């Protein structure tokens, strides 16, 4: 039986999707993304399409994500939010990101945030997919981001968060409790 040939772009997108899936399934564990010039574009190419909306304050990234056919939207309605560099000034705006409704909790935003690992704020995570607890060091984000996240999470309402550092990604689903140590 013949199998259809996959293009390199299809293979890369499938690898990105698998890394994101595993990242949310096992919060706090780093997952490898395939090498790319821009992991935010690779994640965007995997997650967004003609039926989705996105927001990013980065004009170049917005232009590149626009090639997917997804529609740019205000932060208050965009399903996917991309912040390669999240600063304190962005937090007030980010507070308006959708958290879903009790009828449709899946309409909460997915945040893709640039960061660093192995330095910065020590976080303890617990919840589904984590046996007991796990700790990770995350830098490059305002420490008050974690306060904002705690304020908006009212499970099942909230945000799915992907932390991206180079070709590594860590998922923090809305079901995960994050304690700043």
Q: 144 pLDDT band (50/70/90 cuts)?
A: very high
With a cut of 80, say whether residue 5 has pLDDT above it. no
With a cut of 90, say whether residue 2 has pLDDT above it. no
Q: Please identify, in words, the CATH class of the domain defined by 8-115+139-175.
A: alpha beta
With a cut of 70, say whether residue 1 has pLDDT above it. no
Q: What is the pLDDT of residue 122?
A: 96
Spatial neighbors of 138 by CB under 8 A, at least 6 apart, are 115, 116, 117, 120, 121, 123, 163, 170
Tell me the per-residue pLDDT of 30-81, one tens digit each, with 9 for 90 and over.
Answer: 999 998 889 999 999 999 999 999 999 999 999 999 888 889 999 999 999 9
Alpha carbon distance 132, 134 (integer Å): 7
Give all strands (DSSP E) within the chain, no chain letters.
Answer: 31-32, 53-55, 71-72, 80-83, 110-114, 116-126, 134-139, 160-165, 168-172, 177-180
Contact (Cβ atoms closer than 8 angstroms) between residue 83 and residue 55: no
Alpha carbon distance 23, 48 (integer Å): 18
Tell me the per-residue pLDDT of 94-131, one tens digit each, with 9 for 90 and over.
Answer: 999 999 999 999 999 999 999 999 999 999 999 999 99
**How does DSSP classify residue 114?**
E
Taking residue 24's Cβ as centre, other Cβ atoms within 10 Å add up to: 22
What does each C-alpha distance from 65 to 29, 34, 35, 81 come to in angstroms? 27, 18, 18, 11
């Amino acid at each position: 039986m013949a199998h259809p040939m996959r293009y390199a772009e299809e293979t890369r997108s499938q690898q990105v999707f698998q890394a994101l899936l595993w990242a949310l399934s096992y919060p706090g564990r780093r997952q490898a993304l395939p090498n790319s010039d821009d992991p935010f574009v690779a994640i965007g190419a995997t997650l967004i399409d003609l039926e989705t909306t996105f927001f990013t304050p980065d004009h170049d990234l917005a232009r590149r994500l626009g090639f997917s056919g997804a529609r740019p939207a205000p932060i208050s309605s965009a399903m996917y939010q991309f912040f390669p560099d999240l600063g304190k000034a962005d937090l007030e705006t980010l507070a308006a990101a959708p958290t879903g409704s009790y009828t449709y909790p899946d309409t909460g935003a997915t945040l893709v945030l640039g960061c660093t690992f192995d330095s910065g704020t020590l976080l303890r995570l617990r919840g589904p997919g984590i046996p007991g607890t796990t700790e990770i060091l995350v830098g490059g984000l305002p420490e008050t981001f974690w306060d904002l996240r705690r304020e908006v999470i009212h499970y099942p309402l909230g945000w799915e968060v992907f932390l991206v550092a180079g070709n590594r990604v860590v998922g923090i689903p809305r079901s995960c409790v994050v304690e700043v140590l």
